[in-house]
Amino acid sequence: MKALYTIALWMFTTVAMAAGTVWIDVRTPEEFHSGHKDGAVNIPFDQISQRIGELKLEKDADINVYCRSGRRAGVAESTLESLGYTDVDNIGGLDDALKYGQ
């Protein structure tokens, strides 16, 4: 299972980097599996500092984070900024993320 996860994460990273914006769903895996924005990767907000390196992003990458209501995304945004990421946006909740760019 870990191998499939690693391959899926690598594929996501490749596609996301080509698209320009990285979408991170910071909800729980259960919430993520119940529905998420197409192309989003799931890193729960309380794991963001330990796992953001898996995406191999530049510090100036365009990163959008969302959760259910925006609270956890706000924590994730602050954490990423404290780690040196300079272009992080809290989009709010899943509904906001789904409407984003339409």
The predicted model gives 35-64 an average pLDDT of 98
Band of the pLDDT at 35, cuts 50, 70, 90?
Answer: very high
Q: Which H/E stretch holds residue 96?
A: helix 94-99
Tens-place pLDDT, residues 73-83: 999 999 999 99
DSSP 19-81: HSEEEEE-S-HHHHHT---TT-EE--GGGHHHHGGGG---TT-EEEEEESSSHHHHHHHHHHH
Does residue 48 have a pLDDT over 50? yes
**Polymer length of the chain:** 102
Phi/psi of residue 47, nearest 5 degrees: -120, 0
Higher pLDDT, 28 or 16: 28
Find the CATH number of the domain harbouring 40: 3.40.250.10
Task: Quote the mean pLDDT of the chain.
Answer: 89
Domain extent for 40 = 2-99
Of the given ranges (15-19, 27-31, 54-58), which has the lowest mean pLDDT? 15-19
Q: Which H/E stretch holds residue 90?
A: strand 88-93
Alpha carbon separation from 76 to 43, 47, 49, 85 (Å, rounded): 10, 9, 8, 11
- The number of folded domains in the chain is 1
The predicted model gives 82-92 an average pLDDT of 99
Does residue 25 have a pLDDT over 70? yes
Active site residue 67: yes
Task: Identify the active-site residue in 26, 52, 67, 88.
Answer: 67
